[in-house]
Amino acid sequence: MKPRVCFVVDSGTDVRLADGLADGTTLRILARTQPSGREVSQPSRHALNVETGPGSHAAFAMFVLRRLLALRRQTDVIVVQGYGPTAAFANLAGRLTGLPVLMLVCSPME
Protein backbone atom coordinates (compact mmCIF):
# COMPACT_ATOMS: atom_id res chain seq x y z
CA MET A 1 0.00 0.00 0.00
CA LYS A 2 1.34 3.42 -0.96
CA PRO A 3 1.79 5.97 1.84
CA ARG A 4 -0.88 8.66 1.85
CA VAL A 5 0.88 12.02 1.76
CA CYS A 6 -0.68 15.41 2.31
CA PHE A 7 1.63 17.98 0.70
CA VAL A 8 1.06 21.53 1.98
CA VAL A 9 2.15 24.24 -0.46
CA ASP A 10 2.15 27.84 0.74
CA SER A 11 3.78 29.62 -2.20
CA GLY A 12 3.43 27.38 -5.23
CA THR A 13 5.47 24.33 -6.13
CA ASP A 14 7.33 22.88 -9.07
CA VAL A 15 5.49 20.20 -11.02
CA ARG A 16 8.58 17.95 -10.81
CA LEU A 17 8.25 17.81 -7.03
CA ALA A 18 4.52 17.05 -7.23
CA ASP A 19 5.10 14.38 -9.88
CA GLY A 20 7.93 12.82 -7.88
CA LEU A 21 5.74 12.58 -4.79
CA ALA A 22 2.80 11.27 -6.82
CA ASP A 23 4.97 8.53 -8.36
CA GLY A 24 5.34 6.68 -5.05
CA THR A 25 2.45 7.86 -2.91
CA THR A 26 -1.24 8.60 -2.82
CA LEU A 27 -0.88 12.37 -2.91
CA ARG A 28 -3.20 15.15 -1.82
CA ILE A 29 -2.02 18.76 -2.18
CA LEU A 30 -3.32 21.63 -0.05
CA ALA A 31 -2.24 24.80 -1.86
CA ARG A 32 -2.62 28.49 -1.09
CA THR A 33 -4.30 30.34 -3.96
CA GLN A 34 -1.70 32.15 -6.03
CA PRO A 35 -3.47 35.18 -7.53
CA SER A 36 -0.64 36.02 -9.94
CA GLY A 37 0.65 32.52 -10.59
CA ARG A 38 -0.04 28.82 -10.38
CA GLU A 39 -0.28 26.55 -7.37
CA VAL A 40 1.64 23.88 -9.36
CA SER A 41 4.03 25.35 -11.93
CA GLN A 42 2.87 23.32 -14.96
CA PRO A 43 0.40 20.62 -15.88
CA SER A 44 1.27 17.30 -14.25
CA ARG A 45 1.58 13.89 -15.84
CA HIS A 46 -0.63 12.70 -12.94
CA ALA A 47 -4.22 13.55 -12.09
CA LEU A 48 -3.30 15.56 -9.00
CA ASN A 49 -5.73 15.95 -6.11
CA VAL A 50 -5.28 19.68 -5.38
CA GLU A 51 -7.41 21.60 -2.89
CA THR A 52 -6.85 25.35 -3.00
CA GLY A 53 -7.33 27.44 0.09
CA PRO A 54 -7.47 31.17 0.78
CA GLY A 55 -4.84 33.50 -0.65
CA SER A 56 -3.97 35.21 2.64
CA HIS A 57 -1.17 33.59 4.63
CA ALA A 58 -3.07 33.71 7.93
CA ALA A 59 -6.32 32.38 6.45
CA PHE A 60 -4.45 29.63 4.61
CA ALA A 61 -2.66 28.56 7.80
CA MET A 62 -6.04 28.16 9.53
CA PHE A 63 -7.44 26.32 6.48
CA VAL A 64 -4.48 23.90 6.62
CA LEU A 65 -5.00 23.23 10.33
CA ARG A 66 -8.70 22.49 9.83
CA ARG A 67 -8.14 20.31 6.73
CA LEU A 68 -5.30 18.31 8.27
CA LEU A 69 -7.38 17.59 11.36
CA ALA A 70 -10.30 16.52 9.14
CA LEU A 71 -8.02 14.36 6.95
CA ARG A 72 -6.15 12.65 9.81
CA ARG A 73 -7.62 9.22 9.03
CA GLN A 74 -6.80 9.57 5.33
CA THR A 75 -3.19 10.70 5.81
CA ASP A 76 -0.01 8.86 6.82
CA VAL A 77 2.47 11.75 6.61
CA ILE A 78 2.35 15.52 6.15
CA VAL A 79 4.95 17.28 4.01
CA VAL A 80 4.95 21.06 4.32
CA GLN A 81 6.89 23.29 1.94
CA GLY A 82 8.29 26.38 3.65
CA TYR A 83 8.69 27.52 7.23
CA GLY A 84 6.19 30.33 7.84
CA PRO A 85 2.85 30.37 9.67
CA THR A 86 1.47 27.57 7.50
CA ALA A 87 4.34 25.28 8.51
CA ALA A 88 3.73 26.09 12.17
CA PHE A 89 0.05 25.16 11.85
CA ALA A 90 0.89 21.99 9.89
CA ASN A 91 3.27 21.01 12.71
CA LEU A 92 0.54 21.73 15.26
CA ALA A 93 -1.84 19.47 13.31
CA GLY A 94 0.83 16.77 13.32
CA ARG A 95 1.21 17.04 17.09
CA LEU A 96 -2.55 16.90 17.64
CA THR A 97 -3.05 13.90 15.33
CA GLY A 98 0.19 11.99 15.93
CA LEU A 99 1.10 12.21 12.24
CA PRO A 100 4.72 12.78 11.22
CA VAL A 101 5.44 16.15 9.62
CA LEU A 102 8.34 16.71 7.25
CA MET A 103 9.42 20.24 6.38
CA LEU A 104 10.82 20.98 2.95
CA VAL A 105 12.66 24.25 2.39
CA CYS A 106 13.87 24.44 -1.20
CA SER A 107 14.87 28.08 -1.60
CA PRO A 108 18.56 28.54 -2.46
CA MET A 109 18.47 31.71 -0.34
CA GLU A 110 17.59 29.71 2.76
pTM score, whole prediction: 0.93
User: What's the rounded mean pLDDT across residues 10-34?
Assistant: 94
What pLDDT, in 10s, does the model give residues 81-107? 988 899 999 999 999 999 999 999 876
Task: Please state whether 98 falls in left (phi above 0), alpha (psi between -120 and 50) or beta.
Answer: left
What pLDDT, in 10s, does the model give residues 25-79? 999 999 999 988 889 988 899 999 999 999 999 999 999 999 999 999 999 999 9
Q: Are 78 and 8 in contact (CB under 8 A)?
A: yes
